[in-house]
Each structure stands twice: as structure tokens, then as C-alpha cells.
Chains A and B, each alone.
Chain A
Amino acid sequence: MNDELLKLGSHTFGSRLILGTGKFSDTETMIRAVEASGTELVTVALRRFNRDKPNDDLCAPLAKLSAVRLMPNTSGAINAKEAVRAAQLGRELSGSPFVKVEIHPNPHHLMPDPVETYFAAKELAADGFLVLPYIPADPVLAKKLEDVGCAAVMPLGAAIGSGGGLSTLEMIKLIIRDSNIPVIVDAGLRAPSEAACAMEMGCAAVLVNSAIAAAQDPVAMAEAFALGVQTGFEARQAGLMLQSEFAVATSPLTSFLS
């Protein structure tokens, strides 16, 4: 077993940084950021596929990058039925077995719907997709999604685009502890140091979009995130030292042992 590689289904990836491709000022910057990040997996919203209008299409330029695999996502869908349809169309258009199930019925805060996400993920996994659901940081939901055959779970660190960092830290730790599939923090990260922190905790990868797209220099920030992810991963492998000394008892508890 090679611990260096991220595994999703039977696919392996050298980079543990996954990029979202929306919100960039222009396609060229997005492509340069993708290249600078060293990522091997990017997610593209089906709603940003536009075959009829090449300069409005995110799919074709990304498909040209040979080092990068595409993962269509279902953002824009507000229920399981729509997400399943979007996933099927995305697979048809991109040829990718991966799908990021993303269902946020509220267009303002964009929080994922756990119930609809569960049903969509279940159906798509049964249909042979490698499903990566974007979910609230809920350890029970994470196990239920594992049970229905998801390839990974992607709990949010904070609300999409909020830059809130790892506000769900304790829940993500619990998800990691009991998960048999990769746990990928998706959404909320603002700084490469937070990506490093997620990796130090034991996340298998992180997915970043806004923090790169909305940086002053997206290309440089993409590279910085790559370094952050790598640093955190290496630190995890190296084993962190303790935060504080262990407690010293005030009165002996073991005097009952002869």
C-alpha cells in the first residue's frame, strides 16, 4: 500500500489538493491556477458546461489538461432527482466516473441538504458512479454515505465562500476516526495554513475553490495551497508532538496495586 497516493475507488492521485473551477475572473487564470496547484482532480459544475458557446464553457479547456481528471458536480440542483439527472448528463458529457454530489436548496447560504444528498448518493453509487458527496460535518451522515458505497465523503469546514476555516473541526475529527473511506474537507478554507491543519488532522485531501479564485493572485495562491496541503500531509506522516505534558496526579490512584 502506497500511503503517498490519494485513492478514490481504484483511481490514485499524486496530489491531495482538489480544485473547484468556478468564481475565477477568467478561464485563462483558472487554467493557470489549476496548473500551478499541481492538482490532478478538478470539479466543474454541470451548469458551467456550455458546448454551444466555447468561451462560456469550463469543461473543454480543462479536458485539454492531460494531467487533470474532471469531476462534474451537481451544484444548482435542489433535490436528489435533479442531482441524479445532472450527474448522468455530466458523465455523458465528460466521460468521468466521478461525481461530486452537491445539493444546496438555499441559494444564499448554500448549505448542503443532508437528506436529498443521501438519496442522490445512494442512487448514483448503485449506478456505478464514484460518488463524492459534499455534506454537513455530520459523523452519522458520513457513515450512512459510506454504507451506500460512496468513494469518499466531503464534509464542509465552514459555509461555501465564507472563508470561515475549519469551524467544524471537532466533528471532522470524529468523521475521520471512524471512516473507512477518504475524508476530504470541502468548502470554507481561506488560508493554506488551514489546509495544512486539515491534513495534519488526517484528512485525505482538501477541496479549495473560493480561496484561490478570490485571492489577489490566484495562480500564486494555488501554488501556496499546494504547499500547505503537502506540508500538512508530511507533518501527519511525521507524527506531531504533544501539545502539553500529561497530567500528574495529586494523590496516588494506584496504591491499591500491591
Chain B
Amino acid sequence: MKTTLPEWIDPAPWLAREYRVVDVEHAIGTESPDESTLAALLSPAAAEFLEPMAARAQAITRRHFGQTIQLYIPLYLSSYCSNGCAYCGFASDRHTDRHTLPFDAVEKELDSIKTMGFEEILLLTGERSSRADIDYLRTCVRLAADRFHTVAIEVFPMEQDEYHMLAEAGCVSVTMYQETYDPEPYDRMHRWGPKKDFFNRLDAPARALAGGLRFAGLGALLGLADPYHDMIALYRHTRHLQKTYWQAGVSLSFPRIRHEAGGFTAPHPVDEKMLAQIIFAFRICLPDVPLTLSTREGAPFRDGIAGIGINKMSIASRTTVGGYSGNAPEEGQFDINDGRSLETFQAMLHGKNLEPVFKNWEKLYRLTA
């Protein structure tokens, strides 16, 4: 396997440098952030500057997103997966009870979610399989598009024409985490399956945007590899897409491995302080890029960071297949650490003077066949 990153994404030049307190102070205040800014803000020297970083991040978040938090909800369609991701509860060697929602059950789940008030839904599957293939997905997108303004997918990498088909079915957004941008640990963590192809995954968001999707969500799974390496590469990936597909919206998430099924322990654990530092750093370096946080994180952390960098969150999520309307199996893809209801969460947001936003896109702008 090719193990070197192409120049446009390689973080190496910024990893080789050492960052001092003066670099951090400069980075916090800069109006023209770049890779060096991010590297300085992620460095150990910046760990002592969390409070000023938070203040700056909050000011920037307010400037670009106001006092709002966008809300979305995930729907797991299928837990079948042929991949061997070492950290995932759905990996093919884990003995979970596997399900794919039949279309009537999909409709039931969608209706349950719709009743809660959401307008943005994220549809998830494992690897492409005969149970959950492109045709299955297209039908699910259609069913979701009949009910929700924003339909997003977090599924297997596809070809440009397949993305185009889904765009025509009403999908506008793709989420594709690279997991790690370091090809070597990537190869080790992805023990088998199509997901072993690092570069096919790396180029998938670009194919999706070329295929007509309007938004791409990127991220790396914190804990798998060196976070400095992965976060600088993530920044470079974002900037690359922004410059190439300049009409597209790019957003970022910061998933962190907590306690996954199968007893996997993260080789590069990221603690809450480091996670906060990463989020503040990205807000300062990408002022107008939506930053998302899921219910993988616990309520105190989420409440603390809402509006200080993070401007988009999921809530009331189930990571099990069929979790919203019926008898869902126990084991989800990952553990949920914020299990509050939508009502409780909204009350928290209002208490912090933050307005929950459910609808932030309009189905009128969809690509039509």
C-alpha cells in the first residue's frame, strides 16, 4: 500500500516545528489563520491558554452563527458490515445481532423522528452489502426526503454517479470521516474489508460534491492516531475542498473513541481538555465552518462547549437499528453519553441563551432529476 500522503494534505511541514508561547498568543489573535495557526493552537504550549482560546472561539462563533445551535438526528438503517474496523461495535467479527430496516420500518422510524420536530436527518449504514446497497439507500433517501428538508448520509464511499443518484433522490449532504489521516495506523485499524482502501475514502467527499451533493462533513476519529497529525490534515482537507468546490459547504465533527464494543482501547486517547482545545483551535482557524458534536460526549461537556465553538449538535439519538419506534437490540455502534430528551436539551440551550434551529435548509433547493 502507498503510505505517503499527497502534498495537498500532508501535515508533515507543520509537525516538524516547535511552537512557543509567543506563537500561541499570535495564533489566538490572528485575523488570517493558516496551518501554522492551527498547529500552534494544538501544541502543548497552547494548553495553558484554554480560557483565552475559549473567549476568542466564542466571539467568532457568535459573529458567524449568532446565538443558535443547529439540531439534527441520526437514523441507523443497517448494522450489517463486512469491514473489520478495530474500534467499531458493528465490525464483522463482533457478535452483534444484525439488522437492516425494511422500508415499512424505515417509514415508521422516520415518522417517529418527524413527530419529535427534527428537520435534518442523517442516515447511516455499514459497508455496502446486498442488504444495504445503493438501491436500498436511494429508496431510504426518498422516504426521508418526503418528510425532512435536509437529508444527509453517512455510509460507504461511492462513485460520483452514485452520489448523483442520491442527490436526485433528495440527499444534500454526505458525512465521511477519514478516521485517521495517517495511512499506517489506518491500515492497522482497518483490518479487512473495502474500507482498507485509504485513498478511495479520502477522495469520497470530493466525488460526492462533484456528484451534486451540497455539503460534506469531515472528521477523524480522535484516539486512533496522533491527533496533531490528524487535525492538521483535517484542516488541510477542509481548505482543499473549500478552494476546489467553492460552492459547497464543509462542516467538521470531532468524534472521540470512548468505550467501544469489543474492548478496544484507543492508542492515542484524547481527554476532554484536549478535545476542547481542538474545537477552539478549529473555530479560530475556520471561523465560518460549522462544527458539530454528537451525543458520544457527555452532557456536561456538551453544555459547556455549546456556542463556544460548537454550533451544531445531535440529540435524542439512538445508535441502534430501529431505536426510535420499537424493539431495538441492545448494542449500538457506539455508546451514547448524553441520553437526554430533546425537550430537556432545548431547555438547557434556552438557559444558555442559545436558540435551537431545526430547519436550516430548504428542500426547494434540491437537485431534481
> What residues make up the interface of A, taking CB atoms closer than 8 Å to B?
143, 173, 177-180, 202, 241-249, 252-258
Provide the main secondary structure of the chain A interface. loop
Contacts of A173 in B (CB 8 A): 32
- Among candidates B54, B242, B246, residue contacting A254 with C-beta atoms closer than 8 Å: B54
- Among candidates B29, B50, B244, B305, residue contacting A244 with C-beta atoms closer than 8 Å: B29
- Among candidates B25, B30, B56, B300, residue contacting A256 with C-beta atoms closer than 8 Å: B300
| Pairs of residues from A and B, 8 with the lowest C-beta to C-beta distance, nearest first | A256-B304, A249-B55, A253-B54, A246-B29, A246-B28, A143-B246, A242-B29, A254-B50
Contacts of A248 in B (CB 8 A): 52, 55
Contacts of A245 in B (CB 8 A): 25, 29
Question: Known pairs A202-B32, A246-B55, A254-B304. 9 more at Cβ < 8 A?
Answer: A177-B32, A178-B242, A242-B30, A246-B52, A248-B52, A249-B54, A249-B55, A255-B304, A257-B276
Indicate if the CB atoms of B29 and A256 lie closer than 8 Å. Answer: no
The smallest C-beta distance from B59 to any residue of chain A, in angstroms, reads 7
Between-chain CB contacts (< 8 Å), 28 pairs: A177-B32, A178-B242, A178-B246, A180-B243, A180-B244, A241-B26, A242-B25, A242-B30, A244-B29, A245-B25, A245-B29, A246-B55, A247-B52, A247-B59, A248-B55, A249-B51, A253-B51, A253-B304, A253-B308, A254-B51, A254-B54, A254-B276, A255-B304, A256-B301, A256-B304, A257-B273, A257-B276, A258-B272
Q: Which residue of B lies closest to A140 (CB)?
A: B246
Determine whether B58 belongs to the interface, using a CB cutoff of 8 Å to chain A.
Answer: yes
Q: Which residue of A lies closest to B304 (CB)?
A: A256
The smallest C-beta distance from B126 to any residue of chain A, in angstroms, reads 34
Q: A178, A243, A247, A257: which has the most chain B beta carbons within 10 Å?
A: A257
The smallest C-beta distance from B166 to any residue of chain A, in angstroms, reads 24
Q: How far is the CA of A12 from the CA of B162 in the complex (A)?
A: 42
Determine whether B197 belongs to the interface, using a CB cutoff of 8 Å to chain A.
Answer: no
Number of A-B contacts (CB under 8 A): 61
> What residues make up the interface of B, taking CB atoms closer than 8 Å to A?
25-26, 28-32, 50-52, 54-56, 58-59, 242-244, 246, 272-273, 276, 300-301, 303-305, 308
Q: Which residue of B lies closest to A1 (CB)?
A: B7
Q: How far is the CA of A63 from the CA of B156 in the complex (A)?
A: 59
Indicate if the CB atoms of A253 and B32 lie closer than 8 Å. Answer: no
Indicate if the CB atoms of A242 and B246 lie closer than 8 Å. Answer: no
Q: A245, A246, A248, A258: which has the most chain B beta carbons within 10 Å?
A: A246
Q: How far is the CA of A173 from the CA of B58 in the complex (A)?
A: 23
Q: How far is the CA of A17 from the CA of B117 in the complex (A)?
A: 58
Q: How far is the CA of A11 from the CA of B25 in the complex (A)?
A: 39
Q: B52, B59, B300, B305: which has the most chain A beta carbons within 10 Å?
A: B52
Q: Which residue of A lies closest to B33 (CB)?
A: A177
Contact A246-B308, Cβ < 8 Å, known A252-B51, A254-B51, A256-B303: no
Contacts of A143 in B (CB 8 A): 246
Contacts of A257 in B (CB 8 A): 50, 272-273, 276, 301, 304
Indicate if the CB atoms of B52 and A249 lie closer than 8 Å. Answer: yes
Contacts of B55 in A (CB 8 A): 246-249, 253
Q: A173, A180, A241, A242: which has the most chain B beta carbons within 10 Å?
A: A242
Contacts of A177 in B (CB 8 A): 32
Contacts of B273 in A (CB 8 A): 257
- Among candidates A179, A247, A252, residue contacting B56 with C-beta atoms closer than 8 Å: A247
Q: How far is the CA of A89 from the CA of B84 in the complex (A)?
A: 63
Q: A242, A244, A248, A253: which has the most chain B beta carbons within 10 Å?
A: A253
Q: How far is the CA of A242 from the CA of B26 in the complex (A)?
A: 6
The smallest C-beta distance from B110 to any residue of chain A, in angstroms, reads 34
Contacts of B244 in A (CB 8 A): 180
Q: How far is the CA of A173 from the CA of B32 in the complex (A)?
A: 9
Q: Which residue of A lies closest to B29 (CB)?
A: A246
